[in-house]
Structure formats: C-alpha cells, structure tokens
Chains A and B, each alone.
Chain A
C-alpha cells in the first residue's frame, strides 16, 4: 500500500515553457502532499506543502507565482513551473502522507527530472 505516482518522469523543454507535474496517491487519500526539489549531490529541499482544498504553504525563498500548486482532490496535487528557465532544471519529487496524523511517513513519487534548455 501507500503508493504515490508522479508523472512525467522526465521533461526536456525550451526556456520559457511552463511544465506541469502531477502527483497522485493511488491507494490512499492524502490531505497533505509535499513538493521537494533536489539538486545534484544535495539534500532534499522542501518547496511547499500542498493542502487539499486550500492554498499551498510555501517555504521561504520559493516564489509562489513561479511554482503554482493545485491540490484539487484528496488524491491529486499538481506543480506547475511557469516560464521555466535553465536554473529551474532540477529533480522534483512529491510525497504524500496518509490521513492519520503528522507522524505518518511520507511516501514519495519516483520524481521528475526537469531539464530546461
């Protein structure tokens, strides 16, 4: 159980393009989903916490208008990187937590490797 699906796995696109990444909890409901970014050989960096039916909570330094998050249902959250530039190239990973309290483990999607040319 506790499977999280993330799509797409790889994206290569031109500078200025907007890219949407989907994160789905397949066999459980997730009130809260998390979006992380990880640069090569660095640790996970939390970008934002996505709450179903409400606005996302962004970490300091993360631009809300640049990284649009929508959590329209208990099983789907999306991250849209708007007008992406080469410096946005990174490994983006989502995770979801089952709705039984904050001390439940986060289960991760397989990640999306974004390359902006």
Chain B
C-alpha cells in the first residue's frame, strides 16, 4: 500500500501560486510530512517539513489539516526556475530511510 499519492504532473503560469496536494490516508501518529524538490540531474533538495497545521519558510508553505490525511505544498508566485519534480514523503521521525514515490512533475509556463 502506497504511503503517499500525488498528481503525476501539473502546469502553472509564472507568477501564480501553485498548490500540490498529497494524500497519506495511513499516516501514523509519529509520522512527519516532508517535501523535497528535484531538478534534472541533481539530487533531491529539502523544501519543508511539518507535523500538523501550517508551516512556512522562505521557500514554501505546508498546510496540514487536523486529520493529517493529506497535506498541501504551496509555492507562492512561481517562476520558471521552480520547474522540477516535487516529492511528498511521510516518514516516522527516526525512520531509517526516506521513501520516495514518483512525485509531481511541475512545469512552469512563461
């Protein structure tokens, strides 16, 4: 049973806010939600992590509803350089490995 489900791809225009939603119906009490970004020919890069409610950093916001069965990564005012694959991960703090799905391929259109 997949731990997370996300859209395979999304397109957006420059300057728009982009929201990518991830479903994780089987999330456990001690699981954290983490998002990574990956550009072609590079390793993934950490974007944001949260447990509940809302987390914001200089790059993105992460919204997690009370039931924690989903989460939404919000990228404000995207630019062409935000074109990448975005991975939603759900992992137990202290879990020994990060489990990646196939991610969401985000394409920003000029």
- Same assembly: no
